[in-house]
Amino acid sequence: MVKIDSLNQSLKETSNVLAVPVGITKLAVPLRITKNEVCLMLGIGRDKLSRLEREDESFPKGMKEGFTRQAAVFYDYQEIVDWYENWKSMMRTATYS
């Protein structure tokens, strides 16, 4: 429960969210999220995230904000959600021998 509350708080503080016009009841969805937010969403550490990026070709690629080596890396929110839904369905149908 703490992870969900923490993620919700960090997403509220994110300034790069899609604005929703007045009168529409949809929730605002962030367009991009940081590495730490991805880790919170998936319940994993940064080392596991790095391993997913290296070993899982279907995992979404990060996007650098600038051209320098220190530029922040962001991920597309919807790509992460789609990847997780696909991963979850694959894990549920996997057979182990």
pLDDT in tens, 34-49: 999 999 999 999 999 9
Higher pLDDT, 69 or 25: 69
Residue 23 has pLDDT above 60, yes or no: no
What residue segments make up the domains of the chain, in order of their start? 2-93
* Interior/surface letters 58-94, b for 16+ CB within 10 angstroms, e for the rest: ebbebeeeeeeeeeeebbbbeebeebeeeeeeeeeee
Q: What's the whole-number average pLDDT of the chain?
A: 81
* CATH number assigned to the domain with residue range 2-93, chosen from the 4 options 2.60.40, 3.30.160, 1.10.3470, 1.10.1660: 1.10.1660
The percentage of residues in the chain with a pLDDT greater than 90, rounded to a whole number, is 59
For residue range 50-76, list pLDDT tens digits in order: 999 999 999 999 999 999 989 999 999
Q: Is the per-residue pLDDT at 89 higher than 50?
A: yes
